[in-house]
Amino acid sequence: MATGATPIEVTGAGGVRLAAYSSGDPTARPVLLVHGYPDTHRVWDVVAARLGAHHHVLRYDARGAGASGAPAHRADYRVENLATDARLVAAALHPDAPVHLVGHDWGSVTGWVAATSPEAARWMASYTSVSGPHPTHTVDWIARTLRHPSPAALTRLGRQILHSRYLGVFLYRANVLTTRRLPGRARVPVQLVVPLRDRYVTPAWADAALAHAEPVWRRTVDTGHWGALITHGVTLADWIAHFAQHVDGGPADEELRAARVVQPAVAQPSTPTR
């Protein structure tokens, strides 16, 4: 358990027991941090410590990780259940206001599914994504690349395929084939944080999200997959705080204004298939 955090047990989707943690000022702006594989809520320690001075910081161990319960079946790890877990934790730990959700790795995939769901705006104020794409964005990116197969585009796709080999070695692979039946357009403001030296999610793959979010801001950090949370955790925390403040009605600082991505059009959600 993180130092200074209050443990709270939350019942997640399908009755799974989730170990959740609350820290910081419970009356302040709420930020929910969702970790990825193979981490626990402790991967956010640096970020949470920085945010805790002025925010209500919410964390939990995802199903099958840390002190949380592990479902019996692989299907219980589907992203819909992971997104529901995030919503239920937010409702239990800070029921009075929408949370600013932040996800990393599979926590970021979880966040995308939550942010694109029909009920997103009822419990989320914004979404910050680090190193984890929406499954639908991935399928759309691959399809666009194959429709326009330039050497550069195919090289980017091939590089990402090599980096994604780890998907086959853990239970969350139940989601690998989850594609077009999920909506892909975000229903809340999005901040995309792209580690430039990520071994698992290349910048090209991360940027596939840009066509599916409006408004959207993009920032880069010169580090690897976990570096954004650890060696650059203070910077990430400040970006989260400034973004949340702006979404809640505050002014944007110069760096945030420069990060805003202006696009001619936003892609529509993919058509579901049977």
CATH number, domain containing residue 75: 3.40.50.1820
Residue range 161-189: average pLDDT? 59
List, edge to edge, every strand of the sheet that includes 99-104: 6-11, 17-24, 55-60, 29-34, 99-104, 124-130, 190-195, 216-221, 260-261
Number of domains in the chain: 1
Distance CA(195)–CA(254), nearest Å, equals: 21
DSSP H helices, the chain, are 45-51, 79-93, 106-115, 120-123, 135-147, 151-163, 203-206, 233-247, 254-259
Distance CA(147)–CA(243), nearest Å, equals: 35
pTM tops 0.75: yes
Distance CA(229)–CA(235), nearest Å, equals: 9
Do the domain assignments include residue 142?
yes
Is the pLDDT at 8 greater than 80? The verdict is: yes
Do the domain assignments include residue 27?
yes
Do the domain assignments include residue 270?
no
Is the pLDDT at 80 greater than 90? The verdict is: yes
Distance CA(58)–CA(77), nearest Å, equals: 21
Confidence of residue 2 (pLDDT cuts 50, 70, 90): confident
Do the domain assignments include residue 146?
yes
**C-alpha dist (Å) from residue 27 to 23, 94, 266:** 11, 9, 35
Kindly write down the DSSP assignment for every residue of 67-98, as one continuous string: TS---SSGGGG-HHHHHHHHHHHHHHH-TTS-
- Check if the beta carbon of residue 110 is closer than 8 Å to that of residue 160: no
Taking only the tens place, the pLDDT of each residue in 179-219 is 455 667 899 999 999 999 998 888 888 898 998 999 999 99
Least confident window among 71-85, 170-184, 188-202: 170-184
* Phi, psi dihedrals of residue 64, rounded to the nearest 5°: 85, 0
Range of the domain at 126: 6-261
Do the domain assignments include residue 273?
no
Single-letter code of the amino acid located at 70: A
Is the pLDDT at 98 greater than 70? The verdict is: yes
Distance CA(164)–CA(110), nearest Å, equals: 17
Distance CA(190)–CA(247), nearest Å, equals: 10
